[in-house]
Amino acid sequence: MADVRRLARRRAPRVVFDYVDGAAEGELSTARAAEAFAGVEFRPHVLRDVSRVDTGTEILGRRVAMPVVLGPTGFTRMMHPAGERAVARAAARAGVPYALSTMGTTSARDVAAAAPGGWNWFQLYVVRDRGRVREWLRQAREAGMDVLVVTVDVPVAGGRLRDVRNGMTMPPSLRWGGLAQAMTRPAWWFGFLTGEPLRFATVEGAPDDLAGITNLMFDPAVTLRDLEWIRAEWGGRLLVKGVQRVDDAEELVAAGVDGLVVSNHGGRQLDRSPTPLELLPEVAAAVGDRTEVFLDGGVRSGADVAAAVALGARACLVGRAYLYGLMAGGEAGVDRVLAMLRGELVRTLALLGASGVDGLDADVVRLR
């Protein structure tokens, strides 16, 4: 994955790479997520028959090829012109779900048409205009998306200092230094200039900087009552993404959600927020018998996926991992990242003495 990330850095302009790679404030949460995964020690069983290893599992009652979900990410066509369509196709081929973001640059209908065999989800940011929310839910439903992921850790935009320094705007308005650097990425420019104009599929008439869009659009007054309204409007399965405390998890389960994502948005929102992998066991112990608990933040390998599942996750969402693949090599890059995650998961399971994902439990890991 480090090599894929390096290749991504070489292919995409710095302003784009930094938008993906960066995080909020001092980027402490992102660094801690990586440290947490590094601190996992496996406790393998030997002399187990692992001649056949199956990475398949069930998420929300449906079979998937491995416990991985391609998480929602905004502006995906900026990373590569193939954008969300490429990601959805790669997910469908790999047999894992993909969640389209509210901040996506491809409509729900176009994503569904690009990957008709895939399991596509929709991620919702609750904006002030509830009519717009209702319209997005309708479009997602019509596109066959049957799981809604409501992200709740963005009452206001995070302070992403790399973006501020780079003048990261929509579309990008680079300063001279950034522009000069971007000139050294002609293939990216060619794709950017010859592709469909980069448009935010969902926001009209918004200011052109990221924090401005976020603060104008996203409703900082959203509470549990709004979630109940969304649940009623949606009528299908609903996950809440951005859970960072056990008591909030309890409250959400009592409110009837179908699943929770223990997540701090990849460290892109509140810096110094709890490290998801460290919080996961507590949340899983408290509500894991009543709901499906997912994790994201810092998942970069199949061994990381195995660690998270062993510590209580039903599956992991990944963000940057597939975006590095997309920047490095378009659709083939996302395919490659998914193949790597799967290959590493197979190898980790075999070396752990587990022939399947159900062999991943608290007994096979220790936090150093």
Question: Which position among 8, 16, 20, 328 is part of the footprint of ligand FNR (CB under 6 A)?
Answer: 20
Whole-angstrom CA distances from 19 to 117, 161, 261, 360 are 30, 10, 22, 34
DSSP characters over 115-136: -TTS-EEEEEPPBS-HHHHHHH
| Residues 125-164, interacting with ligand FNR (CB under 6 A) | 151
Question: Which position among 297, 302, 325, 333 is part of the footprint of ligand FNR (CB under 6 A)?
Answer: 297
Q: What is the DSSP letter of 22?
A: -
Shortest Å distance, C-beta 294 to ligand FNR: 10
Count residues binding ligand FNR (CB under 6 A).
Answer: 25
Residue from 99, 161, 87 nearest 125 by CA: 99
d(CA 98, CA 78): 18
d(CA 175, CA 231): 43
**Binding window for ligand FNR (CB under 6 A); candidates: 4-12, 191-199, 228-236, 263-271:** 263-271
40-42/365-367 β-pairing: antiparallel
91 binds ligand FNR (CB under 6 A): no
Please, which residue, 31 or 351, has the CB nearer to ligand FNR?
Answer: 31
Question: Which position among 13, 67, 72, 330 is part of the footprint of ligand FNR (CB under 6 A)?
Answer: 72
241 binds ligand FNR (CB under 6 A): yes
DSSP characters over 264-311: -GGGTSSTTPPPHHHHHHHHHHHHTTTSEEEEESS--SHHHHHHHHHT
Please, which residue, 53 or 293, has the CB nearer to ligand FNR?
Answer: 293
265 binds ligand FNR (CB under 6 A): yes
**Binding window for ligand FNR (CB under 6 A); candidates: 9-17, 134-142, 244-252, 317-325:** 317-325
Residues 6+ apart with CB under 8 A from 282: 246
330 binds ligand FNR (CB under 6 A): no
d(CA 177, CA 181): 6
DSSP percent split of the chain into helix, strand, coil, nearest 5: 50, 15, 35
320 binds ligand FNR (CB under 6 A): yes
Q: 263 near 295, Cβ under 8 Å?
A: yes
**Binding window for ligand FNR (CB under 6 A); candidates: 7-15, 50-58, 195-203, 260-268:** 260-268
Residue 265 a catalytic site member: yes
d(CA 113, CA 98): 14
Shortest Å distance, C-beta 102 to ligand FNR: 6
Residues 6+ apart with CB under 8 A from 39: 367, 368
- Active-site entry in 11, 89, 241, 265: 265
Question: Which position among 13, 97, 298, 312 is part of the footprint of ligand FNR (CB under 6 A)?
Answer: 298
d(CA 273, CA 5): 25
Q: Which residue is nearest to ligand FNR (CB)?
A: 319
Shortest Å distance, C-beta 163 to ligand FNR: 10
74 binds ligand FNR (CB under 6 A): yes
Sign of CA dihedral 169, 170, 172, 175: negative
111 binds ligand FNR (CB under 6 A): no
Please, which residue, 15 or 53, has the CB nearer to ligand FNR?
Answer: 15
103 binds ligand FNR (CB under 6 A): yes
263 binds ligand FNR (CB under 6 A): yes
- For the annotated catalytic residues, the residue numbers are 265
Contacting residues toward ligand FNR, per CB under 6 A = 19-20, 71-74, 101, 103, 123, 151, 241, 263, 265-266, 268, 296-299, 317-321, 323
